[in-house]
Structure 1
Amino acid sequence: MNITEITPFIGLELTGVGYDDLVRPEVWEQLVEGVRERELVVVRGIELTPLQQIDLASRLGRPVPFVISKYRHPEFEEIMISSNEKKGDKPIGVARVGNFWHQDSSFVAEPAPFTMLHGVNVPSTSGHTKFASAVDVYDRLPEEWKARLADRIGVHTVGKRLRIRPEHVGLSVAEFKALIDVEHPKVEHPLVCKDEYTGREYVYGSREYMDSVAGFDPNENEAFFTLLDGLIQDEERVYTHRWTQNDLVIWKTRTTYHIATEVEPGVGRTVHRVSIEAVDAEVQLVEEEVQ
């Protein structure tokens, strides 16, 4: 097994390992430590069955079934299929997911702390995933902005990215917005947080999953989002993951910004996604003892 640093600011890459290697406690601990310390770990070219992916996810926490059942794996509800491919003229998954910079599920009160993707059918020429560290973004904030954002609250929402469904046809814009507020209430999170493992501060929020910074007027909000966009998207501080077959990618949701780039026309792309929520330490100990 080889472990290399991907960039100075985010990521580790593991090569030369298979499933049987990863389930060895000493190897798995290195992977977990890498995720905690470096936000993101890439395991290159590891063949996994869906059940093996769920098993690995279970070693980090508790895999969570995807909220929309029709996009779940037909046999394993814990796996969401992200795909532009079809089977019998029917989509096998949801296409165009995450094609904007974000931190996973920041619009809910308690986001799952880890995300795991496995590249089932991935092109190397497009459909990349870009990553940036929210810790690195905070470090690069101008000092005056660090002072302005201290103790501020971010108001998060999925409203900017919610897709219109058939049952919404006929609603006015005002009615649709009101419905969003009922079905998906806004949530609040501290704008600057401290990583519970490393103790480092990071920015928690992004333009597409935030309504505003509490207490900022519209001009202040726009200035903040413009600054944040520039820091996140600085190509010198972005890692672009160019997928190869069977890559496994794991990241911390709170401290990792990411975006899926477009897939070129006529090219298929399928990845299996597992969202992993935290497990209470005492509960996990009991489960391990029962097993």
Structure 2
Amino acid sequence: MKTEPNSGSLMGATVSGFELAGASDADLAELKASLYRHRLLVLKEQHLEPKEFVALGRALGTIEVYYEPMYHHPEHPEIFVSGTKPGDSTEGVPQTGKFWHADYSFMSNPFGITMTYPQIVPKTNRGTFYIDMAKVFAELPDRLKDRLRGTLVEHSPRRYFKIRPTDVYRPIHEVQAEIEQVTPPVFHPTVFTHPVTGEEILYVSEAASFGFVEPDGTRLPPEILQEVLERSGQLDTGFTDPHIHLQSFTEGDLLLWDNRALVHRALHNPRPEPAQSYRVTVHDDFPFFGVAG
């Protein structure tokens, strides 16, 4: 197995020669160490059946099955299916992830590793955008750093919740009430220490964050969240902000990333084009949150 940092890019590394079937415990430990070091890995020449993709997830930790069944692979619920095959509307959900987010930030126990395995690679506009939120926090002015440390940030899926087939003809207030019941808002540390790298992570996303709260429940002015999102690059609709990294991929690539440190956003073609990816999400060996400062 060989790992080479991506030359001239903000983050990431390319891994060649990795084969799950022959991987030792040392190989898997090296893979995870590289993931935390580089944030984002692209494993080349992967040709895995769905059950093998699930096995890779289990080799890296404990898989978290997505809570909404409509995203599940029909034979392997551990796999989240994004996009659909031409002529097949029974597997997958199209146009997922068109917003900045960290996976499962709106749940009480987020996971550390996300893996995506493209199955149908579009001919144009393929890739995923990423922002390193440790780097963003390190570059904030001291007045903002001091203001955010020790606060909590509200997370909820309500802003971008996708309507399900079972929601057709339901009154919208019933759907909204169900969202609040099944996934009520959670409050996570705005800034926490990465348990492996020791860096301070700013845990904020355009999709799921709804404002900062002091430990006593006092809400901070909404302008603070607006400023943080602008400084991070998440409000840049042209995707030219220097914090934004676009990772492209091709057939046979498998992407792993540090779901603690990165927010991401899918790149979709404005014109319909076949595309489908499998995703497996994994709790690693460390507690998700540390204590900042």
Which TM-score tier does this pair reach, normalised by the shorter chain? 0.7 to 0.9
Instruction: Write the distance in 1 (CA, Å) between the matches of 2:198 and 2:31.
Output: 19
Instruction: Write the distance in 2 (CA, Å) between the matches of 1:66 and 1:172.
Output: 23
Does 2:123 match 1:119?
Answer: no
Over 3 Å counting, the alpha-carbon distance change for 1:179 and 1:123 in structure 2 is closer
Other structure's SS at 1:30 match: helix
Give the match for residue 109 of structure 1.
Answer: 108
AA at the equivalent of 1:131: Y
Name stretches of at least 5 consecutive residues in structure 1 with no aligned partner. Answer: 282-291
Does 2:200 match 1:201?
Answer: yes
Q: Is the 8 A contact 1:154 1:213 kept in 2?
A: yes
AA at the equivalent of 1:222: Q
Identical aligned residues as a percent: 24
Of the three residues 244, 265, 268, the one matched with 2:274 is 268
Instruction: Write the distance in 1 (CA, Å) between the matches of 2:280 and 2:169.
Output: 31
Instruction: Write the distance in 2 (CA, Å) between the matches of 1:222 and 1:236.
Output: 18
Does 2:75 match 1:75?
Answer: yes
Give the match for residue 13 of structure 1.
Answer: 14
Name stretches of at least 5 consecutive residues in structure 2 with no aligned partner. Answer: 214-218, 288-293
Instruction: Write the distance in 1 (CA, Å) between the matches of 2:9 and 2:128.
Output: 18
Question: What TM-score do the two structures reach when normalised by structure 2?
Answer: 0.85
Other structure's SS at 1:28 match: helix
Does 2:149 match 1:150?
Answer: yes
AA at the equivalent of 1:180: I
Instruction: Write the distance in 2 (CA, Å) between the matches of 1:34 and 1:107.
Output: 27
Give the match for residue 60 of structure 1.
Answer: 60
Give the match for residue 190 of structure 1.
Answer: 189
Instruction: Write the distance in 2 (CA, Å) between the matches of 1:126 and 1:54.
Output: 27
Aligned residues: 278
Give the match for residue 285 of structure 1.
Answer: none
Instruction: Write the distance in 2 (CA, Å) between the matches of 1:227 and 1:168.
Output: 38
Instruction: Write the distance in 1 (CA, Å) between the matches of 2:125 and 2:50.
Output: 24
Instruction: Write the distance in 1 (CA, Å) between the matches of 2:261 and 2:286.
Output: 21
Q: Is the 8 A contact 1:140 1:231 kept in 2?
A: no
Give the match for residue 289 of structure 1.
Answer: none
C-alpha offsets along residues 78-125 of structure 1, whole Å, 9 cap, x if unaligned?
Answer: 1121123244x5342111111111111111110122111112221252
Other structure's SS at 1:207 match: coil
Give the match for residue 139 of structure 1.
Answer: 138
Deviation at 1:67, TM superposition (A): 2.1
AA at the equivalent of 2:15: L
Q: Is the 8 A contact 1:124 1:243 kept in 2?
A: no
Over 3 Å counting, the alpha-carbon distance change for 1:92 and 1:167 in structure 2 is closer
Instruction: Write the distance in 2 (CA, Å) between the matches of 1:277 and 1:201.
Output: 20
Deviation at 1:158, TM superposition (A): 0.8
Give the match for residue 256 of structure 1.
Answer: 262
Give the match for residue 291 of structure 2.
Answer: none
Q: Is the 8 A contact 1:113 1:278 kept in 2?
A: yes
Instruction: Write the distance in 2 (CA, Å) between the matches of 1:4 and 1:186.
Output: 40
Instruction: Write the distance in 2 (CA, Å) between the matches of 1:253 and 1:191.
Output: 15
Deviation at 1:168, TM superposition (A): 6.8
More helix by share: 1
Instruction: Write the distance in 2 (CA, Å) between the matches of 1:134 and 1:222.
Output: 15
Q: Is the 8 A contact 1:124 1:244 kept in 2?
A: no
Instruction: Write the distance in 2 (CA, Å) between the matches of 1:2 and 1:13.
Output: 8
Worse overlay, 102-111 or 28-37:
28-37
Does 2:89 match 1:90?
Answer: yes
Deviation at 1:222, TM superposition (A): 2.9
Instruction: Write the distance in 2 (CA, Å) between the matches of 1:218 and 1:201.
Output: 22
Over 3 Å counting, the alpha-carbon distance change for 1:231 and 1:144 in structure 2 is farther
AA at the equivalent of 1:64: E
Instruction: Write the distance in 2 (CA, Å) between the matches of 1:128 and 1:74.
Output: 25
Question: What TM-score do the two structures reach when normalised by structure 1?
Answer: 0.85
Of the three residues 224, 230, 243, the one matched with 1:226 is 230
Give the match for residue 290 of structure 2.
Answer: none
Instruction: Write the distance in 2 (CA, Å) between the matches of 1:91 and 1:126.
Output: 24
Deviation at 1:177, TM superposition (A): 4.2
Give the match for residue 160 of structure 1.
Answer: 159
Other structure's SS at 1:211 match: strand
Worse overlay, 105-114 or 25-34:
25-34
C-alpha offsets along residues 175-212 of structure 1, whole Å, 9 cap, x if unaligned?
Answer: 65444322321000110110001111010011210111
AA at the equivalent of 2:28: W
Other structure's SS at 1:136 match: helix
